[in-house]
Amino acid sequence: MIYFFGLLTLIGLALAYRTWRKRQWQQEVLASRLTDEEWRIIRAQMPLIRKLPPDLKAPFEGKVALLLNQADLVGCNGLEVTDEMALSIAAQAALLVVNTDAWYKHLTTVLIYPGAFKSKQTTQDGYVVTEQDVVRLGESWSRGPVVLSWQDAQQGGLNDNDGLNVVLHEFAHQLDDLSGQTDGAPPMAAGQSFATWRAVIVEAFDRHVASINAGRRTVIDPYGATNHEEFFAVAVEAFFERPQALKRAEPDVYDQIAILLNVDPASWS
C-alpha cells in the first residue's frame, strides 16, 4: 500500500513537472521575436498586419512563433510548404488571438493543399446514411487538424477588405471548439456574459437567415446562415476585414466579438 501511494506521488510530481516545463517553454517561445525578413514576408502576404497597433506587435510575434513551433505544417498533393506559406498562415491565425489568453492548445497539425480539396461528407436521414465527396477550401476538426487550400489561404491574406478569409474562419472554429463543442459559443472572456453572447448571436443569426432567404445583401457572408457555428466563423472574418461595416450593420455582434478577442479593429488605421 505504501509503495502504491509512493508511486502515485511520483506520477503526480512527474505530471506537474511536465506541465510546468511546457508552460515555461511556451513563455520562452512567446518572448521570441521575428526577424526583419520574416516581418517583410508577413507584411507582403498579409497587408492587414500593417494596421496592427504598436502595443500588439510583441504579442503577435510571440504567437506566430508559438504556432510555428507547436504545429507541423504539412503539404499535401505534392505541395512543398515554404517559409512564405508558413508565415502567412501562422500570422493570420495569430491575429485572431493576438490580445487574448485563448490558444489553439490541441492543434498539432495543419494540412495544406495547393487548392480546393475533396472531403468526405456524411449525412443521415432516418436510417439512410449518405456519404459523398464535397469540395472545400478549408476544414477544422475538433482538436485538430486544420486543413487549408493554400490558394485560398493566400488570397484571404492578400485581400484584407472583402470579409473572406479561410484561415480566420477555420481557426475561429478551433477557438469555438475549446468550449468542448463547436457550436458558435467559444469560451467567454473574463467577465463576459454567456447569456448576453447567446442572446446577441442567436438574434443576429435569425436576422441573417431572414435576410439571406429574402435575397438581401449582408455584411456577413451568406454561408453564416448554415448554423450558429458557421455564423460565428464568418462574423469573425468580417470583424477583422470589414470592421466598420460590421459595426454599423450588427453593432452588438461586433461588440461581443471585440470583448471576446480583446481587440477593436474598427479603430485601427
User: For residue 10, what pLDDT band results from cuts at 50, 70 and 90?
Assistant: low
pLDDT tens track for 84-111: 999 999 999 999 999 999 999 999 999 9
pLDDT at 175 (0 to 100)? 97
In the predicted model, is pLDDT for residue 12 greater than 70?
no
Q: What is the mean pLDDT of the chain?
A: 91
pLDDT at 24 (0 to 100)? 74
pLDDT at 6 (0 to 100)? 62
In the predicted model, is pLDDT for residue 3 greater than 80?
no
Single pTM value for the model: 0.88
C-alpha cell of 205? 443569426
| Of the candidate ranges 23-27, 38-42, 223-227, the one whose mean pLDDT is the lowest | 23-27
User: For residue 269, what pLDDT band results from cuts at 50, 70 and 90?
Assistant: confident
Q: What is the mean pLDDT of residues 18-38?
A: 80
Share of the chain above pLDDT 70, in %: 86
Written as one letter, the residue type at 21 is: R
Q: What is the mean pLDDT of residues 15-44?
A: 81
Can you tell me the distance from the alpha carbon of 127 to that of 219, in angstroms, rounded to the nearest whole number?
39
Torsion of CA 177, 195, 246, 110, to 10 degrees: -10
Interacting residues of 219 by C-beta distance below 8 A, sequence separation 6+: 163, 238, 242, 245, 246, 248, 249, 250
pLDDT tens track for 186-244: 999 999 999 999 999 999 999 999 999 999 999 999 999 999 999 999 999 999 999 99
pLDDT at 125 (0 to 100)? 57
Q: In this structure, are residues 221 and 173 in contact, taking their beta carbons and an 8 Å threshold?
A: no
Q: Return the higher-pLDDT residue of 20 and 225.
A: 225
pLDDT at 26 (0 to 100)? 77
**Selection from 39, 49, 148, 25 nearest residue 83 by Cα:** 39
* 215 φψ region: left (φ > 0), alpha (ψ -120 to 50), beta (else): left
pLDDT at 135 (0 to 100)? 83
Can you tell me the distance from the alpha carbon of 212 to that of 223, in angstroms, rounded to the nearest whole number?
9
In the predicted model, is pLDDT for residue 126 greater than 70?
no
